[in-house]
Amino acid sequence: MDVSLKRPVEIGTWKPAPFALRGETVFAIGDVHGCAAELAAMLDAIANLAAETAGRRRLVYLGDMINRGPDSIGVLRQWAGSEADHGVDHVDRLMGNHEIMMMLAALGGPHADRAESMWLSKRMGGQTLLDQMRERLDEPAARADLGLLQRALGNEIVHRLYGMRGHVRLGNTLFVHGGLDPHADPDEFLARPWTIFTEARWAWINHGFLDWRRGFGGTLVVHGHTPPDKHRAISGMEDPHLFEGDRLGLDGGSARTGIVTAAEIREGRYRILKAGSPFATPQSSDDA
């Protein structure tokens, strides 16, 4: 995909919410899923907003950069850029369940076969990325292993993939891909390594998180993972990008809806950013 084809970006109005971020401005980007042109437009908008912002500016990628969409390699090239490339002071790259599947499949080990089967399934869309890597190298039969990632993506991107974090805490706010289990000890829950696959539930949870209404002990949760139609079905919220129940969801559905969603979050307020044009007929979300 030609990322130079400009996509529109909608900047929402400010809404109040009790974020306390130690004075930082945070731009958090939800699931991108291979939508490189939409991400390019979003990053341009964020760079412009950041240039007008006093104080420390942070960008947080909430995970699920890959699979499904037309150009996951183009997404990863942008994602791997430096702070200067992004126009901010710090970049955090969090791991989503789609990165977990790919990395476990590529690295081998006890979960590799199941991870690869899930990653390459139609519902997860990893076959699209695998085909993109094979085409880039003109290796139509290449195995989905670490060697393929290194040859197709380059060492810088692979280094960034190894450096992904499970979560980031800033002030009273937790940034994480999937969410929190309110019935689990949060420190133990978030400490689970991604190498235990689906047991690292911070990257996979939606039921039990989105339908919980009693808060998370003073922690506000900014997350991705669950696209709008599935979010509505679980949470009952008409607008899944509202701060409610101490949660703010930023998965716009991307490859299934045409929209990449982000938020600009400051002390006591936030606003939603949407890049792309909505598809006339969005695909339903069978799985996140």
DSSP letters for 233-252: HHH--SSTTS-BTTEEE---
Strands 57-61 and 90-93: parallel
- Beta carbons of 286 and 275 less than 8 angstroms apart: no
Cα of first residue to Cα of last residue in the chain, in angstroms, is: 23
Six-digit token string for 207: 């039921």
Other Cβ atoms closer than 10 A to 193: 9
Query: What pLDDT, on a 0 to 100 scale, did the predictor assign at position 101?
Result: 98
Give the other-Cβ count within 10 Å of 106's Cβ: 21
Is domain 9-105+155-275 annotated with CATH 3.30.360.10?
Answer: no
CB 128 within 8 A of CB 112: no
What pLDDT score was predicted for residue 288?
Answer: 74
Cβ contacts of residue 6 below 8 Å, gap of 6+? 41
Q: Which is it for strands 90-93 and 167-170: parallel, antiparallel or unpaired?
A: unpaired
CA of residue 10 relative to chain centroid, distance = 19
Q: What string of pLDDT tens digits covers the 288 residues of the chain?
A: 444 468 999 999 999 999 999 999 999 999 999 999 999 999 999 999 999 999 999 999 999 999 999 999 999 999 999 999 999 999 999 999 999 999 999 999 999 999 999 999 999 999 999 999 999 999 999 999 999 999 999 999 999 999 999 999 999 999 999 999 999 999 999 999 999 999 999 999 999 999 999 999 999 999 999 999 999 999 999 999 999 999 999 999 999 999 999 999 999 999 999 999 998 777 766 667
